[in-house]
Structure formats: C-alpha cells, structure tokens
Amino acid sequence: MTDARLDVSRHAARLFWEKGFEATSGDDIAAAAGISTRTVWRYFRSKEACVEPVLKVSELRFAALLGQWPKSESIEQFLGRSMAAFAADEAFVRDSIAAVRILAILYREPALRSAWLMACDEAERELVAIVAHRASRPADDFEVRLCAASITAAMRLVDEEISSAVINDGARVTAQDATSRIIAAIRAGATLPICDPVD
C-alpha cells in the first residue's frame, strides 16, 4: 500500500465521518488531500473504496503482530505482553481512530461495508499462514482456511461491536478490555487447537 493512497484514505475517512458518505464527493476528497479528482479515481475504483487503505492498515498490522506469535506461548501470554507496545504507535492510534469511526457508522452508511469486508479479507489471507504454522499443516488445507476464516469473522464482529459501543453509545473500553475481547474472539473462532502452546 503506497503512502499516497493511505494519505488520501485518511482524508476520505475523516470526511465520511464528518459529512457522511453521500454528502462527500470525489472532489471533496481530492481537495482535502491536495490532489486532483482524476488522481483520486486513479487510486480508487469507487468512492467507498477510498477508505479501504485506512481500514486495511490496522487489520494488516494486527495480522503482522500475530505472525510473531511464538509456538511456545498461548494467545493470552502473547497478546498480554505484546498489545501495549503494539497500540502505542502514534500513526497506528490515528489510523485506528479513523477505522473505529468508519465501523461505528456502518449501520447508517452501508456502502462502506464493502471496504471493511475487503480489509477483513486481506487480513484473513495473512492469518491463513499463521494458522498453518501453528497447526503444522499446509496453508491450502481446508481446515486451516476454515480456521482463519472463522477467527477473522469473530474478530470482525468484536471490532464492530467495540467501535459502535465506544462511538455510538459512549462506552468506555480500556485497552485491557479490548485485548480480552480479542483473545476471546480468537479462541471462539479457532476451529483448530492453535490458541495454546503447540509443538
């Protein structure tokens, strides 16, 4: 993902949050990003696709974190020691806030769901290799792919639920609460025994 596309995506996410999806035009996104409208459409196939990079960056960063999960540790041990540093990066925090805001308005901006599902699909592909490694199975094994798909779906639901609770309902969710919910989602979604230490 190029920095230029991600920069435009950040502007689009802000505008969709502030003005709404329908009220934001390609011209608006271009003006905010300081580029031509033609360049916006060269970068993105549709208006809703403009937020894909900002949604993907957080999902792929988390997938990359899971890629560092040692076989000797449970999911609780690994995320328990890793999440604080993972969530401390300034750019990650900024992009996560943008993503949370988009997820919180999916109920009223259904066109944006396609961008979110594309981001989840890309994260799922990364997760396949992680599941395969922990399960000591090939990446094209059906059960490996099913496990990755199930975990991705569970985490997607948690992301949507937390985002809506925080933005729409004013709930306070601590980093520890969020980590616990993510761990529970991974355990619930895992159809293979990968969450505890493996040989």
Query: According to the model, what pLDDT value does residue 43 have?
Result: 96
CA distance 133 to 139: 8
Query: According to the model, what pLDDT value does residue 2 have?
Result: 63
- Residue 129 · residue 148 · CB < 8 Å: no
| pTM given for the model | 0.91
If we measure between CA atoms, which residue out of 101, 122, 94, 106 comes closest to residue 1?
A: 122
Query: According to the model, what pLDDT value does residue 58 have?
Result: 87
- 3-state class of 82 per DSSP? helix
User: Does domain 54-189 fall into CATH 1.10.357.10?
Assistant: yes
- Residue 36 · residue 81 · CB < 8 Å: no
CA distance 54 to 68: 22
Long-range CB contact pairs, 62-68, < 8 A, 24+? 62/86, 62/123, 63/123, 63/126, 63/127, 63/130, 64/126, 66/127, 66/130, 67/126, 67/129, 67/130
pLDDT < 70 positions in the chain: 1-2
